[in-house]
Amino acid sequence: SLNMGEARADRRMWKPGENRAHILETLFAGGRGYMYWAWNKSNIRIIAEVAETNGIVAEHEDLFLNGQNTERFWTEQPRTFATTLETGDAGLLLVSTYTGTKNTRIRVFKRPDKAMTLTEVYTGKTVELARNQQVFSLIVPSAQCRLWRWEK
């Protein structure tokens, strides 16, 4: 059960991207679904963010339902995380940061493997990774996440 937040309320100020992170972190942690409450304390921007993320989840349903957690990617910076779900055909990489700092560059490590193209699911931006490349950087604002997909 997740809370929509209370736009303009003193005790919980919603920031764009927070609900996206709540939903995706829940699913990558093994949740089989989610429920939101406090719609009456919401606003159209919050509802739009949840709706957009619901669409992304539906588009990648097979990976969320059948994907296995692997250790293909990881981070070593404190309070940053790289979580992976993979099937035989594709994978999703969720990179999250909860550092509370202005540093948005997250260094991600990759097991040496074949070359791959990561595609950011929300923007379509791509990152090309060479076959034996083991380190790369992604930009992720604090208290946010970015979701990347690759095909095998």
Three-class secondary structure of residue 148 per DSSP: strand
Contacts of 70 (CB under 8 A, 6+ apart): 84, 85, 86, 91
Q: Measured between alpha carbons, how far is 54 from 132 in angstroms, rounded to an integer?
A: 35
17 three-class SS: coil
Q: Residue 9's pLDDT is what?
A: 56
Q: Residue 16 has what pLDDT?
A: 86
Structure tokens belonging to residue 66:
């059948």
pLDDT value at residue 13:
64
The pTM of the full predicted model, rounded to 2 decimals, is 0.90
- Residues of the chain scoring pLDDT < 70: 1, 3-13, 38-41
